[in-house]
A and B are shown apart, each in its own frame.
Chain A
Amino acid sequence: MPTALNEQALARYRNDFLREVEERVDEGGWVKMCMQCGVCAGSCPFGPHWEHSPQKIFMMIRAGKREEVLASDSMWMCTSCYNCVVRCPRKLPITTIMHGLATYAHRLGLAPKRQPTRDFSVIFWENFTRNGRANEIRLMLRLWFRDGFGAGIRKALAMKEVGLGMLRAKRMSPFEIFGGHGVKDVKGFQAMIRKAQEIEDRKRGFSK
């Protein structure tokens, strides 16, 4: 659902989506530097499955196609391969901008629903900020069971061979399900993240 944050953003930026991106998206200030050469468009490993290449996304931002950009699934198809970044003649930090756009679309509640990488991303974030380190087993379990119990069991059975292989190879510990490893100073770790988000929200105008 489009959120109050989205209403606030609409009121604040009117029709100036480029300015909105510049002020609110990680490395968004670079978008205007894109010269539409198209080199990045041919670089994405999942490119054939995307609706919009980075080149198109940047063009759409300048054309003010706000809804279309924020609802696009393209940013969520970025594998962080950095092919584009090393090839871009203008040296745009494309990967970071794509992730930043994804983050922003997610915050406003406009990102595509049930997008698997969006879900994975949220789950990963929650997983490792819980105690400071990623817990692989819980990560997988939450991901498999995101479509309900039945679907989770089916997925778990389908992945059984992989899991048993990892167990045999001592690369997985079932005990991680109960707690597992983490940092000692969980309190400080979480407080520092909260503080970082507070500062950023203030600077980006999310909070009053």
Chain B
Amino acid sequence: MANKDYAFYPGCTSHYRGSASNYLVSVESMCRTLDVKLTQIPDWNCCGASVSYAGSGELARHVINARNFALAEQHLPGRDVVATCAACWLNARESKEQLDASAGLLADTNEALKEAGLRYQGIASVRHMVEVLIEDLGYEELGRHVVKPLEGVKFAGYVGCQTNRPFGIAGESFENPVYLDKLVETVGGQAVADYDQKVTCCGGALAVSEPEKSQAQIKDIVESAYDHGADMIVTPCPLCQANVEIYQADVNQRYGTKFNMPVTYYSQLMTVAYGGSAEEAALDGQIIRATRLEEIAATPGKR
């Protein structure tokens, strides 16, 4: 029996060969060590992200999320829904709060869900993977599995927006959340305590439609990591990861900078610290290679 059992909502960027497939691979490796069992919600659908509102509408938005809850309740009863993507989690949780607060909205939602042969009962709760790590397992348990502390590597913890606002992780402040730094220290790394861009917005989905404006944000985020002597950035959000990593070349062109800052996931740090290989941590999924992590992954360590 696994330690903990969850209904997993990977989100559409995490699928095989999606832009966050490296996130998925490293989360799976990390969970194997922690004895956390993730079972994908059968036939889950995309949440619509934060930018599909033009064609949507209020009820459709909630119904789309409720379909996933209903599927989880039906096929994986008793398990919390866990998302790895910050935007998926935010959208799902927002819908869940609205649905649980309004009987009228719930009735309308279920009327629509009936078309797909489903019904949402309001049982399943929605959580982010980071909440599972911190609340269900705890830092001590997370630290217990470390066999290769990430000594001497300095990480700028980029929390971004959507794992931080409007819900955030319980007990953390919106302006200066520290859980990511604590995770870094738990696996033996050094966290940049005064990383001033840790909750700056990278532009989100608008990195695509408003590249100039977003890249001005991304420039600040990366520059500050350099200013604080970070070896790499670490983040809990797949969109932050993609935006801050893949546009560095564009930023360099635009601003004449020479950025080449790796941007990793907390799950990659943990996988390496737990003795996983570069492959298990999906380090080959970086556009800007995280050399320091690759080196640690390559050193022989006890398992």
Contacts and interface: CB of A to CB of B under 8 A. Distances in A.
A170 B43 contact: no
B229 to A, nearest CB: 25
B286 interface: yes
A interface, over-half SS? helix
Contacts of A128: 12, 46, 48-49, 52
Contact of B246 (A45, A81, A135, A165): A165
Interface string B199-231: 011011110111001100100000000000000
A185 B59 CA distance: 20
B19 A80 contact: no
A134 B49 contact: yes
B253 to A, nearest CB: 10
B246 A136 contact: no
A132 B204 contact: no
Given A195-B111, A195-B115, A100 B58 contact: yes
B86 to A, nearest CB: 11
Interface residues of B, number: 68
Contact of B51 (A117, A162, A168, A170): A117
A16 interface: no
Contacts of A196: 57, 59-60, 62-63, 108-109, 112
A119 B19 contact: no
Contact of A103 (B50, B53, B201, B287): B53
Given A82-B166, A191-B115, A117 B209 contact: yes
A81 B202 CA distance: 9
A143 B51 CA distance: 14
A199 B209 CA distance: 31
A119 B209 contact: yes
Interface string B240-260: 000000110110000000000
B28 to A, nearest CB: 15
A79 interface: yes
A101 B64 CA distance: 20
Interface string B113-127: 111111000000000
Contacts of B59: 196-197, 199-200
Contacts of B217: 45
Most-contacted residue by chain A among B19, B116, B214 (CB, 10 A): B116
Nearest to B48: A128
A193 interface: yes
A194 to B, nearest CB: 7
Nearest to B107: A199
A14 to B, nearest CB: 24
Interface in A163-208: 165-166, 168-173, 176, 181, 183-185, 188-189, 191-197, 199-200, 203
A125 interface: yes
Most-contacted residue by chain B among A100, A132, A169 (CB, 10 A): A169
Contacts of A194: 115
B166 to A, nearest CB: 5
Given A79-B201, A79-B203, A196-B63, A125 B54 contact: yes
Q: Which 7 A-B pairs have the closest CB atoms?
A: A125-B55, A188-B116, A82-B165, A121-B54, A81-B201, A173-B17, A80-B50
Interface of A: 26, 45-46, 49, 77, 79-83, 85-86, 95-96, 99-100, 102-103, 106, 111, 116-122, 124-126, 128-129, 132-136, 140, 143, 161-162, 165-166, 168-173, 176, 181, 183-185, 188-189, 191-197, 199-200, 203
Given A81-B165, A133-B46, 10 more contacts: A79-B161, A79-B205, A80-B161, A103-B53, A121-B53, A133-B12, A171-B285, A172-B19, A185-B43, A197-B57
26 contacts: A49-B213, A79-B201, A80-B87, A82-B162, A83-B165, A85-B165, A86-B174, A95-B166, A99-B53, A102-B53, A103-B53, A121-B53, A128-B12, A133-B45, A162-B250, A162-B287, A166-B19, A169-B286, A171-B17, A171-B20, A172-B19, A192-B114, A195-B114, A196-B60, A196-B62, A200-B58
